[in-house]
Structure 1
Amino acid sequence: MKKRTLIALPLVAVAATIFAYHTIFTLPDSAQVSTLSPATQAPELACYNNPKATVLDKQGELNVLVWNIYKQNRSSWQSALDYLAQDKQLLLLQEASMTPELRHWIDQGQWSGNLVDAFKAFDTSAGVLNLAHELPRKACAYTEMEPWLRLPKSAIYANYPLSNEQSLAVVNIHAINFTYGTEEYHSQLGKLAKALAQHSGPMIIAGDFNSWSEERLQVMKSLLEKLQVTEAIYQPDHRKQFINGLPLDHLFYRGLVLEKAKAPISDASDHNPMEVYFRLP
């Protein structure tokens, strides 16, 4: 009897884990992007297209916030986001949980944007989120499955018109984290690098790259150097680091003039934000 009980306990634990997983998480059948705008009602699509897009920059000024906001789990997220967003034209957020509170913040600030639904937790979408006061010309969803956790990580490839008649390509990424080796990591970044290679104008590639090992850094840099991008240098630099001192968050750019970049300390997330200020050449 005791032997049967000992055999049954692991099976019960596995069954309970599987049941809890399916109760909490809902995964999309394919990568889809949702459009958030008071004036636009768009279905979830692999790519959103907007032929009437207007310019992103403000008279040649382009200020960008990049931040993993930790699903808004800290009570001070809203006041911090109010402060950080006030002089920005583009917000690139990772681990955004589309709660009623975040949706209210978006609507109240008259922001518009696109969310890639990596998964739903208790029917609330979570993933990467681009916000601006104008919708992009194009936004496409990318997801890559975490091999251990079996939850997707997400990215957005977007395209925005600029006032100098150029087009800005933007990638907002939350990279694969828990893997043995770099195969899945290379696959996720490689798909985005391939899409960016088709773009001849300025670009921004930013987000939480989960670059916690030298091997991952090498993959990231080898793929991105082919795009002739430059990495922003921060002063001060309080980006979140892994235990070995490697930063997890990055911003790369091309075809823009970097005015300044800083990564201040914030208690509103488990990552510190990156504020990067550009002007058009």
Structure 2
Amino acid sequence: MKKAILFLAVFLASQLTTYAWLGVEVPKDDKVLTNYGSSKQDSINGEAFNVFVWNIYKAKKEGWDSQFKSVIKDYDLFLLQEMLTTENVLNIFSHTEGVSFTGATSFMYKKDGKRTGVATGSKVEPTWQKFLRSKKREPVLSTPKITLFTKYPIKNSEKELLVVNIHAINFVSSLSLHSQLQDAADIIKKHNGPSVFAGDFNTWTLEKQLFLKKITKEVGMKEVEFKNDTRKKMFGFILDFIFVKNLQVLDSQVHNDLYSSDHKAISAQLKMIK
């Protein structure tokens, strides 16, 4: 615990130095969601579809765009956290053939107008999209974290796939994280169909891990496991997860070959349980 407190103190001090001059703005509700690009497919193949999840570290590391482009052909859904609307990110969002992206803005930098938050990409256009902000705000910048919800039609099914993309609130109490997770779980619980709940959960204490496992279990979700489990850890606890409901896991992977972020990308091949 002392190690954690020391780390937080150093981190927050560095953030004060780095961001004090920037100034940020949390957008109004009608300015949170932004859509880019267009999809070509009309439905998800419930027999097998592939989900790719990655905290992209604001695409700051060299080679991110080429590494992300290299995996696009192999996946149907892309859940990205720490999205930042830099020129290379916007170029991918707007000009990747056959893929549409929905961005949900946590906050904007006043100096250059860049947006940061989460983004969900798909080769199928969403039929519904919604966001929820965390009720609590993070220290230093006093900004919320955001959860993005999208739904997609499934081939030969009356049901839709619900995809929940989260970047969980950080450097706050376990109860603050619990509140954000519970808000997401309440929407998952009401959905009559298969669901994917994935992203960077910032669960770097035992209590936060237990909250996450308890809430997902209560709504009938199962955790995707990884044989080559080299996911990012903080203080020994894993941060990035994929949970599924009414879906069978056919395969899963941690992408050790993708190095242009401080998080490892993870993916899963899934099948609808009829």
Shared fold (TM-score greater than 0.5)? yes
Contact 2:151 2:163 survives alignment (8 Å): yes
Shift of 1:79: 1.6
Distance apart, 1:22 and its partner CA? 7.1
Tell me, in whole angstroms, the C-alpha distance in 2 between the residues paired with 1:135 and 1:100: 23
Aligned to 1:249: 240
Of the three residues 210, 214, 219, the one matched with 1:227 is: 219
Residue 213 of structure 1 corresponds to 205
Of 55, 62, 77, the match for 2:43: 55
One-letter code aligned to 2:216: L
Structure 2: which amino acid aligns with 1:28? P
Alignment CA distance shift 1:100-1:147 (3 Å): closer
| RMSD over equivalenced CA pairs, Å | 2.0
Q: Is the 8 A contact 2:254 2:265 kept in 1?
A: yes
Q: What is residue 33 of structure 2 aligned with on the other side? A: 33
The one-letter amino acid of 1:192's match is A
For 2:108, the aligned partner's letter is K
Alignment of 1:280 with 2:268, yes or no, is: no
C-alpha displacement of 1:164: 3.2
How many aligned residue pairs are there? 248
Contact persistence 2:37–2:95 (CA under 8 A): no
Secondary structure, in 3 states, of the residue corresponding to 1:275? Answer: strand
Alpha-carbon distance in 1 for matches of 2:28, 2:83: 20
Q: Could you tell me which of 61, 67, 75 is aligned with 1:80?
A: 67
What SS does the corresponding residue of 2:255 show, helix, strand or coil?
Answer: coil
2:7 matched to which residue of 1?
none
- 1:100 counterpart residue number: 87
- Would you say the 8 A contact 2:37–2:96 is kept in 1? no
CA contact (8 A) 2:36 2:102 kept: yes
Compute the displacement of 1:21 (Å). Answer: 4.3
Please tell me whether the aligned partners of residues 258 and 277 of structure 1 are also in contact (alpha carbons under 8 angstroms). Answer: yes
**For 1:160-187, what per-residue CA distance to the aligned partner results, in whole angstroms no more than 9, with x for missing partners?**
11113121111100001111x3221111
Aligned equivalent of 2:120? 130
Aligned to 1:50: none
CA distance in structure 1 between the aligned counterparts of 2:42 and 2:20, rounded to whole angstroms:
42
1:171 and 2:164 are equivalent in the alignment: yes
Tell me the SS of whatever aligns to 2:190: coil
Q: Give me the TM-score of the superposition, normalised by structure 1.
A: 0.82
The equivalent position to 1:141 in structure 2, one of 131, 136, 157, is 131
Q: Shift in Å at residue 280 of structure 1?
A: 2.9
Name 1:115's counterpart in structure 2.
103
Counterpart Cα distance in 2 of 1:258 and 1:174? 23
- Structure 1 stretches of 5 or more lacking a match? 1-16, 40-52
Aligned partners of 1:268, 1:249: CA distance in 2, in Å? Answer: 16
Report the Cα offset of residue 113 of structure 1: 2.1
Letter in 2 for 1:118: S
Assess if the C-alpha contact under 8 Å between 2:145 and 2:168 holds in 1.
Answer: yes
- Picking from 67, 80, 85, the partner of 2:54 is 67
Offset, 1:56: 2.5
Aligned partner of 1:159 in structure 2 is 151
Task: Give 5+ residue unaligned stretches, structure 2.
Answer: 1-15
* In 2: Cα distance, 1:204 partner to 1:138 partner: 15
Q: Compute the displacement of 1:273 (Å).
A: 0.1
Distance in 2 (CA, whole Å) between partners of 1:139 and 1:56 is: 16
Q: Whose Rg is larger?
A: 1
Runs of 4+ in 1 over 3 A off after TM superposition: 20-24
Local SS of the residue matching 1:169: strand
1:23 Cα deviation after fit? 4.1
